[in-house]
Structure 1
Amino acid sequence: MTHKKSFFSWWIFIVCCFISMIGFGLLVNTIGLFFGPISQEFNVGRANVALMTTFQNAAAAIALLFAGKIMEKVNLRWLLTACFALITVSMLSLTFANSLVHFYLAWTIIGICQPIAITLSIPVLLSKWFNQKLGTVMGISLGLSALGGTIFNPIIAEVIKQFGWRGGFVGEAMLIGLILVPLAISIKPEPTTQYPAYGKAMRSSKKVALTGLSLKQALKMPVFYAVAFAMLALQFVSGSVQHISGHITNIGISPITAATVVSGVMIGAAIGKISIGYFLDKFNTKLVLAVYSLFGVIGWGGQAMLRESNLLILAAVILGLGQGVCLVALPYLIRQIFGEKDYSNILSVINMIGAFAMSASVYLIGLFFDQTGSYNLGWMINVSAFALSFIVIMITLGKKESANSDLENS
């Protein structure tokens, strides 16, 4: 293999890192900075402004129903380019917004593009271009989303301070349009003879191990429903992270400490996503899942029981480590269990289930607080989510090989 040939897989990896940093880190993690300034200008409540993210998330969840099939049939280079271009234009249009309806429409369009451009593009591209080290590259690229959030939040906040929220949207649109659109144009949709994937493909006497399973075949396997349940449960956990700062102040600790606790979650999540990918490549999958699920149990249990600031920060870092199960291990497992044949479609269906769970969790955790005056019920549900997700995957994972044999012969 020539240097040029071997490099292209790593170029795809670099592109995925930028998609994660700017897509998740900028587009997803900075939207809250705009709520206050927009609500002041239009003289409406923040809830009315935040409704645009509800439209975004609902559109994204519905789009996930079709995103996998679209990614199978359309050239990924031009599909990603079109999605990032639409996101850029939608962002720029908001600089001329004179009503909240404009925000709702623009963020609905962004939500439709988001599953293909951001949520699915990274695992789909990496699964095509890496036969080996898939867990490592997936973990690093997805882990950079937290770094992106850390970098872009103060930058966009300063842009909004200096130039207003309209200037903030211009800044975000420029970053997406000038970086992600050209990067999308630069990719090759899949490996070729001239530009092969990194590493040797897994060889097996079983044809199914070489080609993978279709969604229809996957639906006949208990492990599909185990992974789907895990995605539902752990995305519910992910949505509840938004309430951590409220929990910290509710138990009588300062807002500054609350912000530090949230930063601890982000740091833990970055480390967790990067490290779990590496360990999945190096060690037994069940062992890695057990350790990181235990992080989730300990971290969320600590949030429910601890009241000392430093211990709460430590618990936040630990629960952040556990986030690697949902965000890296599950997409990795889906690829390892079901193969590449229908990976984007299977992943999109399972992610859709998770997207609805995440949307519901923000409301439900708040409802539990309103009813009980405490977030502890929500945190104990999160503990149970990690424990049950691990149990159901372990029970069904061992049956995968025999199920694959049955499907191959059917």
Structure 2
Amino acid sequence: MTQHKRKIHYAWWVLLGVALIVGLAKGGIMTAGGLFLTPVTQDLGIGMGSLSLYFSISSIVTMLFLPIAGKLMSKYNIRLVLIIGIILQAGSFAMFGLMNSVWGWYLFCIPMSIGSVFVAQMAGPVLINNWFKKHNGLAMGIMVASGGLFGAILQPMAGNLIASHGWRYTYIFLGVLVMAIVIPTVLLTIRMAPQQKGLQPLGIEEVRDNDKKDVRQVEAKGVKSSVALKSSAFYSLLIFFFFVTSIGSFGQFVAPFAMNIGYNISFAGSAMGGWQIGTLVGALTFGILSDKIGAKSTAIFAMIVGLVPVIMLITVANKPAMFNIAIAIFGFIVASMGTLGPLLTTALFGNKEYSQIYSTAVIGLAIAGMVALPAYGYIAQITGSYTSILYAVGLMMIINVIAVLFAFKGKKKLEAAGLWD
């Protein structure tokens, strides 16, 4: 017998590894930070705004390190890079459990953010693009959904652990658990390229067969970046990016909000599990929906539906079942962030100079991460309530509907001027 034909291509094992790595790094570390805000601030006497400022520092570090990370991943062994990355991310997260001053969060969020760039942001897209020439979209969807799946498991568990063993133990437990699972997963499943296993990427034969047929179909069309970046469509897109990220940033304050209105940390952890389930479903839904009705209609739909959980949290948050339903819907809507940004950029400006346009537009994402999180924290600290934040989130959703309409009106102007070709 030979091994010429295998029932399961090794690309699927790489995807399994990627799903575990990204899922644990996101669901167990990145999105769990909000659960600790109230217990830490109460125990150490730190203001909510002061503590949440570490999220802003993380956003700045991430933005600065992203270009460097790509070069390092292409230069050094991928497994070594990911192991160092998870030690930096999960190890720094565990170190929070030993801190007694807010400066500890400010300090350790720097290596944590550097590690997360490799593990949670860069590894998945790079490896999937290397291994999958067919089913690439499916693989990306599975990877994104894995964060919601693991978050739905780990965040309720974290809430219960904080309630029973305290926030210090839970920080350390989660950090060590993630490292203990991710490091063996990296060693056992991850290879940078199929050639390292004596293979070709999944579906490469079909791509080669269709190359000649597809060349004309994939010819780049759209707007030049020099034109796009000066257009009203681009500024409208930038506004959308800023506000959709600000809306999603509320996820870090779901647990403090729940505890502010009388729920305990275990309930808050369960609610965040519902958020993650909503994110999982949304990650698999919005790509399909965009294919069916287009990016414009999908974006408007997402923002209008997003008003439902905002209204519920303002009016009936004191009812546990309604609170959980609202948070799950909120998580579903926030999942649109991962798909709508790239899809709206393509719909508005085409793919002629997509990377230049998109890389500039995501400045809106980075600025929102720096501004919204500490702003929410300080508003809660000053007012003692999250109601005004919810009103602001609802207003941002309405503004985003208007921004999308203006963006596509701007696209028509570009087409009428003969700048879209």
Name the TM-score, length of structure 1 as normaliser: 0.72
Is 1:221 the counterpart of 2:228 in the alignment? yes
Q: Match for residue 235 of structure 1?
A: 245
Question: What do you get for the CA RMSD once the two structures are aligned?
Answer: 4.7
Q: Which residue of 1 aligns with 2:17?
A: 15
Q: Which moved more, 1:302-311 or 1:189-198?
A: 302-311
Per-residue Cα deviation, 1:199-257 (whole angstroms, up to 9, x for no partner): 75582327754xx99xx96565357666544322210111134455777788xx76379
Residues in 1 aligned to 2:77 and 2:361: alpha-carbon distance in whole angstroms: 22
* Equivalent position of 1:255 in the other structure: 263
| 1:284 CA displacement | 4.5
Q: Secondary structure at the match of 1:45?
A: coil
Is 1:140 the counterpart of 2:150? The answer is no
1:22 Cα deviation after fit: 0.8
> Which position in structure 2 is the counterpart of 1:276?
286
CA distance in 2, matches of 1:165, 1:197: 44
The unaligned stretches of length 5 or more in structure 1 are 406-410
| Paired residue total | 396
Q: Amino acid of the residue matched to residue 190 of structure 2?
A: I
Q: Distance in 2 between matches of 1:163 and 1:21?
A: 24
Q: Which amino acid in 2 is paired with 1:81?
A: I
Contact 2:242 2:365 in 1 (8 A): yes
Distance 1:170 1:37 in 2: 15
Quick check: 306-315 or 6-15, which moved more? Answer: 306-315
Does residue 196 in structure 1 map to residue 197 in structure 2?
A: no
Assess, with a 3 A threshold, how the Cα gap between structure 1 residues 155 and 314 changes in structure 2: closer, same or farther: closer
Counterpart pick for 1:321 among 332, 337, 343 = 332
Q: Does 1:61 align with 2:75?
A: no
Q: Distance in 1 between matches of 2:363 and 2:331?
A: 22
Superposed displacement of residue 357, structure 1: 0.3
Task: Name the CA shift for 1:277/1:150 in 2 (closer, same or farther; >3 Å).
Answer: same
Give the Cα–Cα distance (whole angstroms) in 1 for the partners of residues 29 and 317 of structure 2. Answer: 33
Instruction: Tell me how far apart the structure 2 counterparts of residues 281 and 131 of structure 1 sit (CA, whole Å).
Output: 20
- The whole-number CA distance in structure 1 between the counterparts of 2:75 and 2:345 is 20
> Cα distance, 1:354 vs. partner?
1.0
Q: Do 1:304 and 1:375's aligned partners in 2 also have CA atoms closer than 8 Å? A: no
Q: Which TM-score applies when normalising by structure 2?
A: 0.71
How much does 1:7 deviate?
2.1
1:14 to partner: Cα distance: 1.8
User: What is the aligned partner in structure 1 of residue 86 from structure 2?
Assistant: 84
Q: Given the superposition, is the C-alpha separation of residues 37 and 17 from structure 1 closer, same or farther in structure 2, using an over 3 Å criterion?
A: same
88-97 vs 376-385, which deviates more?
88-97
2:397 matches 1:383: yes
Contact map agreement 1:142 1:273 (CA 8 A) in 2: yes
Question: Is the 8 Å Cα contact of residues 82 and 118 (structure 2) preserved in structure 1?
Answer: yes
Structure 2 vs 1, CA of residues 249 and 352 (structure 1 numbering), >3 Å: closer, same or farther? same
How far does residue 13 in structure 1 lie from its aligned partner after superposition? 2.5
Gaps of 5+ in 2: none
| 1:358 matched residue in structure 2 | 369
Matches within 5 A, 1:32-51: 32-35=34-37, 43-45=44-46, 47=48, 49-51=51-53
- Which segment is superposed worse, 310-319 or 378-387? 310-319
**Corresponding residue of 2:216:** 205
1:325 Cα deviation from its structure 2 partner: 1.9
Change in 2 beyond 3 A, CA 1:266/1:162: closer
CA distance in 2: counterparts of 1:133 and 1:282, whole angstroms: 18
The residue type equivalent to 1:380 in the other structure is: G
Please give the per-residue CA displacement for 1:123-152, whole angstroms capped at 9, x wherever unaligned.
444344444544443333223323322322
Distance 1:334 1:181 in 2: 36
1:384 & 1:287 partners in 2: Cα distance? 14
| 1:304–1:379 CA distance, 2 compared to 1 (3 A) | farther
Q: Percent identity?
A: 19
Q: Deviations over 1:139-166 (max 9, x none)?
A: 3322332332232234345555676655
Q: Are the structure 2 counterparts of residues 255 and 35 from structure 1 closer, same or farther at C-alpha, using a change threshold of 3 Å? A: closer
C-alpha deviation, 1:18, in angstroms: 1.5
Distance 2:52 2:376 in 1: 17
Q: Distance in 1 between matches of 2:311 and 2:32?
A: 28
- Which residue identity lines up with residue 45 of structure 1 in the other structure? I
Is the alpha carbon distance of 1:403 and 1:19 closer, same or farther for their aligned partners in structure 2, counting shifts above 3 Å?
farther
